[in-house]
Amino acid sequence: MIHPTAVVHPRAEIGPDCDIGPYCLVGEHVVMGPRCRLHSHVVIDGHTRLAEGNNVFPFASLGLQTQDLKWKGGITRTEIGANNTFREYVTVHSATGDGQTTVVGSNNHILAYSHIAHNVVLGDHVIMSNVATLAGHVMVEDYAVIGGLAAIHQFCRIGKMSIVGGCSKVVQDVPPFMLADGNPAETRTVNKVGMERHGVPEASQSALRNAFKMLFREGLTIPNALARIEQDLPQLPEIQHLVKFVRSSERGISK
């Protein structure tokens, strides 16, 4: 169903059972999977591909040119997975460099006025509360929660099943399974509620609480803390993921 006031380029590829509402604009190179819904006044342009079941609310803008001043033209892409919700005034920008891609996974809930900048890689089942902002080249792992009005500095990583408090200023990586808050953000404790909601076993939660103490409360250097974690704690999948994430950090972790 395409409303008569919508402007859909004749070369755009629109999947079956899509619903394109009043005053929407869909560009030439857009590919939209089945059962997507654009409520009204939505703009999707650029080389943008959406998988099935995306729900896009009024005045959202997906796939347009990056705001990065380094943009010099070329073909840049925006790849969006399935069953995402983009609420009012959300912006998702295409990548900066020719041949590069901004990636949004599946089953994400992106609340009003949130911004996903160029070259971001967003995982699955992520929640971004109102006015949450991701700068360029940010990576967000699965099941992370970013609070309202939080701002994530470029090239930072937000770990799996972590939570960033509202109004936080994040300038370093937030480790998986942790809660970070403040300006600048500091890692405060483990994300107990998030782990319980997603069925993390109690043995893993206990090990992560001990890992948190070693990393953030015992005054150890990061290499020494990681060595202690590997030596003293059971090498459960969650612990291995935490150690790998921290060890590979380039910006350092929010302490």
Query: Can you tell me whether residue 62 is helix, strand or coil?
Result: strand
Percent of all residues in the chain with a pLDDT value above 70, rounded to a whole number: 100
Q: Which two tokens stand for residue 94?
A: 């295409």
Average pLDDT, the chain: 98
- Where are the alpha helices (H) located in the chain, listed in sequence order? 192-197, 202-216, 222-232, 237-247
Query: 149-169 b/e with 16+ CB inside 10 Å = b?
Result: bbbbbbbbbbbbbbbbbeebe
pLDDT at 151: 98
196-247 matches 7-188 in CATH topology = no
Split at pLDDT 50, 70, 90, the class of 140 is very high
Q: pTM (2 decimals)?
A: 0.97
Please tell me whether residue 170 adopts helix, strand or coil conformation. strand
* Per-residue pLDDT reduced to its tens digit, 87-110: 999 999 999 999 999 999 999 999
Q: In the CATH scheme, what architecture does the domain 196-247 have?
A: Up-down Bundle (1.20)
∠ CA 107-141-170, nearest 5°, is 120
Identity of the amino acid at 74: G
Q: What is the pLDDT of residue 190?
A: 98
Q: What confidence score (pLDDT) does residue 198 get?
A: 97
What are the sequence ranges of the domains in the chain? 7-188, 196-247
Q: What is the mean pLDDT of residues 127-142?
A: 98
* H-helix or E-strand spanning residue 178: strand 178-182
Quick: pLDDT tens for 29-77. Answer: 999 999 999 999 999 999 999 999 999 999 999 999 999 999 999 999 9
Nearest Cα to 187, choosing from 204, 166, 212? 212
Considering the segment(s) 7-188 as one domain, its CATH architecture is: 3 Solenoid (2.160)
Integer Cα distance of 95 and 74 in angstroms: 10
Contacting residues for 192 by C-beta, under 8 A, at least 6 apart: 205
